[in-house]
Amino acid sequence: MSVIERDMPAVESAARSYSRAAIGLRNPHLAEIGTARSELTWLEIHSENYLLPPTTPRYQALERVRHDFALSCHGVGLSICSAEGLDRQNLQDLRVLYDRLQPFQVSEHLAWSMIDGRYYNDLLPIPYTDETLDIVCRNIDHAQEVLGRRLLIENPSRYIDLPNNEWPEPVFLGEMAKRTGCGLLFDVNNLFISAHNLRFETAKYLRDLPVAAIGQFHVAGHSRRELTAADGTLDQLLIDDHGSTVPETVWQLLDEMLALTGALPVLVEWDNQVPALDVLLAEARQAQQRLDAVAGKAGDHAA
Amino acid sequence: MLHEWQSHFASQLRASPPYSEAELTALVGARQHRFSVYRDNFIGSLVDALAETFPVTRQLLGERFFAAAAADFIRREPPAAARLSRYGGAFPVCLHAHSALHELRYVADVAALEWARVESFFAGMPETTVTPETLLGFAEEVLPHLVFEPVASLRVIVAPTAVLNIWQAHQQAEPQLDGIDPWQAQTVRVLCNRLQGVAAMAITPAHATFLQALQQGADLLAAYEAAAAVAGDFDLQAALVAELTIGSFGRVLVP
């Protein structure tokens, strides 16, 4: 039995026990985040921001935060889909960080950022092919083994339907979860954006998605961008910029998904033009209302 | 095959305009105009990361010049790892070599100071530092042979320009540069300690030589001799007490 299979029940129970709304911890809020203790039980951090010596002021501030909140660690740089494998030093550093912080969940993106020893600081797309699936599964196995934890892998926001795709995304995600034992961090905003940009129906996508593998939801805002195609026509794209409030359309899609999964941890992401803490907390309250509504319906069914 | 495709994708991210439509179509298909979303994210996010690391350099150059110089640097030298707080160590050298900045040498020097501050911050603070009182525990004849080991956050900048004065002037909302001669050489010590966080302070050239000798592992006598060769009146006791007081040394090794 692998470490992942052995830990699975504990991981699932951790997800259920933190089935509440939360926000990401951002630097401007480090000093005042303690005031949110009455509302929030957990926070998300971007792992790479804390790969620091424990004596640095930022790390020490996190140590104080950790006494008040459970943590979910979201990696943005492991490049889990890179054909050259994973950066071993980065993986070891993450292991040390996670052993110190003891997060209740750790996650990464279904994307690549690193190739030929260079890091491109974006979540770059992959073609959904048999070869990619083999590489991604090998990398996830490697990461889970070194980290000693089950990973949640986040679905991407997509801008281009690559010509070499062989698998529908939700089926690819399901096969990946089945082969590696990883879970899914399902970003509702990313699905909304991809469906718009690639012109597909979310209902069909959700029918193919292995919802039982979902361990956490993300919601966020997005923006619109108009591009001119080679033939001169205008192309309206949605861009995943995490720089505004969550639109009603994304909240509604979250409702649909919560109805399928039941209550799970829900994170409101906001990374650009980070607003005052109060604004983020108001978004988290919205998410909590959606979660409470699902819990209420579950209660009604039970009664 | 995936490796080859990802390498090709990366080379198109780094490409300068004009972009090849045929190459992009071969890479991502008919909607190749959408590739700009990835290219803009790659360049834009790293320009932002450099702007965070080099805020005064950005003010000195102006937003547009800084963005253009940063984009050139990013295309040539993308990060080698995911930790962007450590990205940009070669940017001051790149600015130093920039043909449009030959008359503005102080810009590259300020960038070097900003990078030293970042390195100092991320080096962190040691659990304990050597205090002035420690000296009392040593016999007088041992003192010249003690090796004071600088903490990891100690940096020494030797610049032919008024790098610290210019940097300090830009800590105000409206920088006042009147009275600053940019061509006045300055030597600066950067250190991260518990009292001040990361602090930069002007020191004499002899004092800088003293610290650099200690960084290279010299004992007290050898470091003093190096400093005295720069300035005959170098005051060893004053320099040593000043450094011990602010916590510049992590430990002292006894021969």
Average pLDDT over residues B228-249: 96
Best of B4, B5, B50, B193 to disrupt the A interface (most A CBs within 10 Å) is B5
The encoded tokens of residue B152 equal 């990891």
Q: How confident is the model at residue B194 (pLDDT cuts 50, 70, 90)?
A: confident
Residues from chain B that touch A164, judged by Cβ atoms under 8 A, are 5
Do residues B109 and B47 share a domain?
Answer: yes
For residue A131, give the nearest of B1, B9, B34 by CB distance.
B1
Residues from chain A that touch B197, judged by Cβ atoms under 8 A, are 57
Label each residue of chain B as H, E or C.
Answer: CHHHHHHHHHHHHHCCCCCCHHHHHHHHCCCHHHHHHHHHHHHHHHHHHHHHHCHHHHHHHCHHHHHHHHHHHHHHCCCCCCCHHHCCCCHHHHHHCCHHHHHHHHHHHHHHHHHHHHHHHHHCCCCCCCCHHHHHHCCCCCHHHCEEEECCCCEEEEECCCHHHHHHHCCCCCCCCCCCCCCCCEEEEEEEECCCEEEEEEECHHHHHHHHHHHCCCCHHHHHHHHHHHCCCCCHHHHHHHHHHHCCEEEEECC
CB contact, 8 Å: B195 with chain A? no
Do residues B129 and B111 share a domain?
Answer: no
- CA separation for the pair A56, A35 (Å, rounded): 23
Q: Of B108, B123, B138, which closes a domain?
A: B123
Q: What is the predicted pLDDT for the residue at A303? A: 46
Is A84 in contact with B127 (Cβ distance < 8 A)? no
Tell me which CATH code domain A3-302 carries. Answer: 3.20.20.150
Q: What is the predicted pLDDT for the residue at B7? A: 98
Q: pLDDT tens string for chain A (303 positions)?
A: 555 555 555 556 667 779 999 999 998 999 899 999 999 999 999 999 999 888 777 898 999 999 999 999 999 999 999 999 999 999 999 999 999 999 999 999 999 999 999 999 999 999 999 999 999 999 999 999 999 999 999 999 999 999 989 999 999 999 999 999 999 999 999 999 999 999 999 999 999 999 999 999 999 999 999 999 989 999 999 999 999 999 999 999 999 999 999 999 999 999 989 999 999 999 999 999 999 999 887 666 554
Average pLDDT over residues B110-127: 92
Q: Which residues pair with B157 in a beta bridge?
A: B188
Q: What is the ipTM of this complex?
A: 0.93
| pTM beyond 0.80 | yes
Is A237 in contact with B29 (Cβ distance < 8 A)? no
What is the four-CA torsion angle of B186, B181, B62, A274, rounded to 10 degrees? 50
Do residues B152 and B252 share a domain?
Answer: yes
Do residues B231 and B179 share a domain?
Answer: yes
Do residues B116 and B173 share a domain?
Answer: no
Residues 48-67 on A with a CB inside 8 Å of B are: 48-49, 51-57, 59
Do residues B100 and B5 share a domain?
Answer: yes
Residues from chain B that touch A125, judged by Cβ atoms under 8 A, are 38
The crossing angle, in degrees rounded to 10, of helices B35-53 and B105-123 is 90
**Mind telling me how many Å the CA of A195 is from chain B's nearest CA?**
15
Is B7 in contact with A116 (Cβ distance < 8 A)? yes
- CA separation for the pair A195, B179 (Å, rounded): 60
Q: Domain count of chain B?
A: 2
**Mind telling me how many Å the CA of B35 is from chain A's nearest CA?**
8
Q: Domain map of chain A by residue range?
A: 3-302
Is A112 in contact with B6 (Cβ distance < 8 A)? yes
Is B36 in contact with A227 (Cβ distance < 8 A)? yes
Shortest CA distance from B121: residue in chain A: A56
Q: Give the rounded distance of the alpha carbon of B212 from its chain centre.
A: 16
CB contact, 8 Å: B139 with chain A? no
Do residues B246 and B139 share a domain?
Answer: yes
Is B33 in contact with A118 (Cβ distance < 8 A)? no
Is B13 in contact with A120 (Cβ distance < 8 A)? yes
Query: How many residue contacts between A and B have a Cβ separation below 8 Å?
Result: 122
Do residues B106 and B168 share a domain?
Answer: no
Domain limits at B8?
Answer: 1-123
Residues from chain A that touch B34, judged by Cβ atoms under 8 A, are 159-160, 197, 227, 235, 237
Residue identified by tokens 């907390």 is A281
Do residues B80 and B169 share a domain?
Answer: no
CB contact, 8 Å: B35 with chain A? yes
Please, what is the end-to-end C-alpha distance for chain A in angstroms? 39
- CA separation for the pair A218, B149 (Å, rounded): 48
Residues from chain A that touch B10, judged by Cβ atoms under 8 A, are 115-116, 118, 120
Q: Of B102, B123, B144, which closes a domain?
A: B123
**Higher-confidence residue: B16 or A300?**
B16
**Mind telling me how many Å the CA of B193 is from chain A's nearest CA?**
10
Do residues B99 and B147 share a domain?
Answer: no
Do residues B93 and B177 share a domain?
Answer: no
Amino acid residing at B211: L
CB contact, 8 Å: A232 with chain B? no
The crossing angle, in degrees rounded to 10, of helices A130-147 and A88-101 is 50
Do residues B158 and B96 share a domain?
Answer: no
Q: Of B123, B158, B187, which closes a domain?
A: B123
CA atoms within 13 A on the CB side of B25: 6
CB contact, 8 Å: B19 with chain A? no
